[in-house]
């Protein structure tokens, strides 16, 4: 079974999201696009909530969220127990967020990274598995506090 992926953005990330969705489709990766679809101002938390709830409900395995900086999306998504959202601006961080932290949400800054770099980050993040190493399992477990 292939991985179920979801993507969403606010107005600050809508253009980058459009490009990423096309690239993911070209790779034959199924992705649900939850919006926004226009550059009209909207509220990033609304999209972060949808993605986080979808992952926790088992509808999706991982998600990508894009706003102007990626920071607001990460803060909002990380409010949910079981979500490990990481804001990445480089492939190195994307790789280790998966290998060591088992991140299940990637956030990007549509006003921070261009398409080329964003595409590289997404590809690394999607192709990197959690190591499953005992020390990383222990550390990820310590993230989940009451």
3-class secondary structure, 73: helix
Q: What pLDDT does residue 21 have?
A: 97
What is the distance between the alpha carbons of residues 30 and 12, in angstroms, rounded to a whole number?
Answer: 23
Do residues 88 and 107 make contact, with C-beta atoms less than 8 angstroms apart? yes
Which carries the bigger pLDDT value, residue 84 or residue 29?
84
Domain tally, the chain: 1
pLDDT digits (tens, 9 = 90+) for 71-122: 999 999 999 999 999 999 999 999 999 999 999 999 999 999 999 999 999 9
66: domain CATH number is 3.40.1400.10
Q: List the domain range (segments joined by +) for residue 34.
A: 5-143
Q: What pLDDT does residue 146 have?
A: 55
Residue of 11, 49, 100, 136 marked catalytic: 100
Query: Could you tell me the pTM of the whole model?
Result: 0.95
What is the average pLDDT score of the chain?
A: 95
Catalytic annotation on 100?
yes
Catalytic annotation on 67?
yes
Residue of 49, 67, 88, 136 marked catalytic: 67
3-class secondary structure, 8: strand
**pLDDT reading at 1 higher than 50:** no
């Amino acid at each position: 079974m292939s991985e179920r992926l979801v993507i969403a953005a606010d107005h600050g990330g809508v253009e980058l999201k459009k490009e990423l969705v096309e690239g993911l489709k070209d790779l034959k990766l199924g992705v649900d696009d939850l919006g926004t679809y226009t550059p009209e101002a909207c509220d990033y938390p609304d999209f972060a909530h949808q993605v986080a709830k979808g992952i926790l409900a088992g509808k999706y395995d991982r998600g990508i969220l894009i706003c102007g900086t990626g920071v607001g999306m990460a803060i909002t998504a990380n409010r949910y127990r079981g979500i490990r959202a990481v804001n990445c601006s480089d492939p190195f961080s994307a790789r280790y967020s998966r290998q060591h932290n088992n991140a299940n949400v990637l956030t990007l800054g549509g006003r921070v990274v261009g398409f080329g770099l964003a595409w590289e980050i997404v590809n690394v993040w999607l192709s990197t598995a959690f190591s499953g190493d005992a020390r990383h399992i222990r550390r990820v477990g310590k993230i989940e506090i009451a």
